[in-house]
Amino acid sequence: MLIVAGITLKSLEPRVWDASSSYFLPDLQAVMISYADIHQFPRMRQRMMDNGIHATLNIPGKIQIFLDNGAFGFSRRGVETPTNEYEEFIRQAKPYWRAVPQDFIPTPNMTLDEQDECLRRTMLVNTAYDYDGYVPVIHISRVINDYIAQMKANENLAAKPCLAIGGIVPNLLRAPKSLTHGEILQSLINLRREFADKQIHVFGIGGTSTLHVAMLLGFDSVDSSGWRNRAARGIVLLSGSGERTIVPLGSWNGRKLNATEMEQIAECFCPACRKFGLEGLKSQTTEGFRIRATHNLWILLEEQKWISENLNSGDYINAYSGHLNNSTYLPLIRYLIENKTSI
Ligand SMILES: [Zn+2]
């Protein structure tokens, strides 16, 4: 499964794709940019259209660039998604992967009618852009089975090689009125089976435990901006153990590292920790942010490798519970192992 690192144009540091940087992560293969971000920088947008995204951002050509439509960012600012400009940008800048120009995101606490309305409006966009490499988007909600049926009923959409799904994490975290875990996982297993031939991307995976869920479900790629926004709050990821606050920043009051975890992280082998050590991770400077962000992304990439190796060797079923310490996702992972014959 491909890990797509969410980035922001407001600051391209740490340049984890740059072989000359202290923060270089050679295993990184793809990044995701939001169009909401690009739209805020008209001159940079134009340069991307004239010279390509890689050249403008000085990102090596081998790194795949995924483009999210930014619908979430635009709606949060109360702005209508500029679909024409999005299309124009895609025609000229040619990102490797791009979502349809707009989708209407249901929240777990919406009524059934409201979720139905999100489905109707999103499917209108999916249908209008059933050509030219646009990736249709569907959402985990109480109407997920209607999404699947409508996608399959449309010949052009059914023939698309790719599909993206949003809303997994908020639903797995059980917001009010959300589905039960069993219902969500069963609908995801069903979705994977119904679209067995498609490359399925999952939007917005958070930390390491959700990687296990996505990989057990057989999804092809996930994106996460968690490596950066956790770093900004002074939070570091730990392999198999979720996340801990290493330096209290802002109003965020997360769980702190205990002595054993502090020892574990002091021995971290990521490029940033090897160079800057524990003091670097704890630093409140901009460099501290870069060190934590690099560390966090490295942990995600390593976790993906661990899961992949253990699934391939057949050891996963014996190793996962020892690897995932006290994860709230353990029952979900157990459910997937018990209900999915391919594992
Ligand atoms: Zn590290």
- Whole-number Å distance, alpha carbon 39 to ligand 1 midpoint, is 33
Residues whose beta carbons lie less than 5 angstroms from ion ligand 1:
268, 270, 273, 295
- Whole-number Å distance, alpha carbon 55 to ligand 1 midpoint, is 29
- Whole-number Å distance, alpha carbon 125 to ligand 1 midpoint, is 42
Answer yes or no: are the C-beta atoms of 145 and 187 closer than 8 Å: yes
Instruction: Give the rounded percent of residues in the chain with a pLDDT score beyond 70.
Output: 96
pLDDT at site 343: 46
pLDDT band at residue 124, thresholds of 50, 70 and 90?
A: very high
Q: Which alpha helices (DSSP H) does the chain contain, by range?
A: 35-39, 42-51, 53-57, 71-76, 83-93, 112-128, 144-153, 155-158, 168-172, 181-194, 208-216, 226-232, 259-266, 271-282, 286-313, 316-323, 330-339
pLDDT per residue as tens digits for the range 193-227 = 999 999 999 999 878 888 999 999 999 999 999 99
User: How many C-alpha atoms does 230 have within 13 Å on its Cβ side?
Assistant: 30
pLDDT per residue as tens digits for the range 49-101 = 999 999 999 999 999 999 999 988 888 888 888 999 999 999 999 999 999 99
- Whole-number Å distance, alpha carbon 47 to ligand 1 midpoint, is 35
d(CA 119, CA 152): 14
Q: Omega of the bond prior to 101 within 30 degrees of 0, cis?
A: no
- Whole-number Å distance, alpha carbon 268 to ligand 1 midpoint, is 5
Tokens encoding 147: 């999404």
Answer yes or no: are the C-beta atoms of 105 and 170 closer than 8 Å: no
Q: How many CB atoms within 10 Å of residue 160? A: 19
Of 96-105, 156-165, 203-212, 334-343, which range is least confident? 334-343
Strands 242-245 and 2-6: what pairing?
unpaired
Mean pLDDT (the chain, rounded): 92
pLDDT at site 176: 61
- Whole-number Å distance, alpha carbon 247 to ligand 1 midpoint, is 15
Judge whether residue 246 has pLDDT over 60: yes
Across 5-22, average pLDDT: 97
Radius of gyration of the chain (CA): 20
Angle at CA 173, nearest 5°, toward 172 and 179? 55
pLDDT per residue as tens digits for the range 257-289 = 899 899 999 999 999 999 999 999 999 999 999
- Whole-number Å distance, alpha carbon 312 to ligand 1 midpoint, is 26
Q: Please tell me which of 130-144, 177-191, 244-258 the model is most confident about, judged by mean pLDDT.
A: 130-144
In the numeric block, the tokens 């349809």 are attached to 100
- Whole-number Å distance, alpha carbon 254 to ligand 1 midpoint, is 19
- Whole-number Å distance, alpha carbon 132 to ligand 1 midpoint, is 41
d(CA 276, CA 287): 10
Instruction: Give the rounded percent of residues in the chain with a pLDDT score beyond 90.
Output: 73
- 3-class state of residue 305 by DSSP: helix
- Whole-number Å distance, alpha carbon 290 to ligand 1 midpoint, is 11
- 3-class state of residue 157 by DSSP: helix
Decide which of 326 and 134 is more confident: 134
- Whole-number Å distance, alpha carbon 272 to ligand 1 midpoint, is 6
Tokens encoding 28: 């990184």
- Whole-number Å distance, alpha carbon 201 to ligand 1 midpoint, is 27
Report the run of H or E that residue 137 belongs to, with start and end.
strand 137-139
pLDDT per residue as tens digits for the range 14-44 = 999 999 999 999 999 999 999 999 999 999 9
pLDDT at site 107: 85
pLDDT band at residue 325, thresholds of 50, 70 and 90?
A: confident
- Whole-number Å distance, alpha carbon 236 to ligand 1 midpoint, is 9
Judge whether residue 5 has pLDDT over 60: yes
- Whole-number Å distance, alpha carbon 298 to ligand 1 midpoint, is 7
Judge whether residue 313 has pLDDT over 80: yes
d(CA 73, CA 36): 6
Across 151-161, average pLDDT: 95
DSSP string, 263-283: HHHHT--SHHHHHHHHHHHH-
Across 100-105, average pLDDT: 94
